[in-house]
Amino acid sequence: MIKRTLYFGNEAYLSTKDEQLVVNFPDKEKPPARVPIEDIGVVILDHYRLIYSQSMVTKLLHNNVALVTCNERHLPQGLMLNLEGNHVQTERFTAQIDASLPLKKNLWQQTVRAKILNQAWLLEKQGIEVENMKYWAGKVGSGDPENYEGRAAAYYWKHLFKENINNFTRGRFDAEPNNLLNYGYAILRAVIARNLVASGMLPTLGIHHRNKYNAYCLADDIMEPYRPFVDQLVLQILEQKLDIYDLNKELKQQLLKIPVVDVVINEKSSPLMVASQQTTASLYQCFAGGVRKIKYPSFE
């Protein structure tokens, strides 16, 4: 089932009743809105006068909803997840923690290959030469010791937005459309982290990322092949010739479509939210020794 992503950017009071999220508005003439909690996957809280009850937080987390809070610039800042996302969690934590270094290097090799191939697909659709990208994807070794991911990224960002942006540089604090990318990646990260928890894994312990200040290293690893789907959405926004300097409601609405973007796994199309559940489930099977390949998405 496709889980809904809810965004709250105006003043409201959020509570629960009868297993539903209840939204009350300052305007007493406006009737409360209700959403079944079981239908929700991600909630984004983005207003300084939002008020919500502890029971709402508890019930949302109990249902493995990812809660995202935003800062004064309306950018995602915090992420809250359920600590008990799977009924055999200890067993799954143990399998993840005991994973050998060769296994983690092999999983990172698969991850980098899938990411580069998806980047190549997106460039090729714009008529850009990608034989070098496909070659690099095929040359990625265990753990990517030659850093083909970095080579591919340099080529990718040099060409991805060249029809819309002059001399684009990818950086968290660099010029637009980095604001769109940052927002989209934050939503993607929440989706992946949520599904990692649901699959019984710690999103902190990565297979490649290992920054001691990062609580979501594994989420950052597993989201890599999914990033080009966010990039494609940003490309579509740029083609609309909208004002992208202000991350307004219209832009956010388009980026909030990320969980329902269609991706392909094993020649079957499904929404990104559903596909990423397959990805995280297959990752655990790799840790447990049941399979050797992660189910990553492609465009077709």
Is pLDDT of 125 > 80?
yes
65-113 per-position pLDDT tens digit: 999 999 988 888 899 999 887 778 899 999 999 999 999 999 999 999 9
Which class does domain 89-288 fall in?
mainly alpha
Q: How many CB atoms lie within 10 A of CB 132?
A: 12
C-alpha angle 216-218-222 in degrees, rounded to nearest 5: 120
Q: In CATH, what class is 4-80?
A: alpha beta
The count of residues in the chain is 300
- Tell me the C-alpha distance between 219 and 151, whole Å: 22
Domains 4-80 and 89-288 share a fold: no
Residue closest to 22 by CA, chosen among 33, 11, 38: 33
Condensed to tens digits (0 to 9), the pLDDT of residues 26-77 reads 988 889 999 999 999 999 999 999 999 999 999 999 999 999 999 988 888 8
What residue ranges do the domains of the chain occupy? Answer: 4-80, 89-288
Angstrom distance (rounded) from CA 41 to CA 254 = 17
pTM of the predicted model as reported, rounded to 2 decimal places: 0.94
- What is the predicted pLDDT for the residue at 27? 87
Q: Which of 112, 100, 98, 97 is nearest to 143 (CA)?
A: 112
pLDDT tens by residue, 145-177: 999 999 999 999 999 999 998 889 999 888 999
Does the pLDDT of residue 195 top 90, yes or no? yes
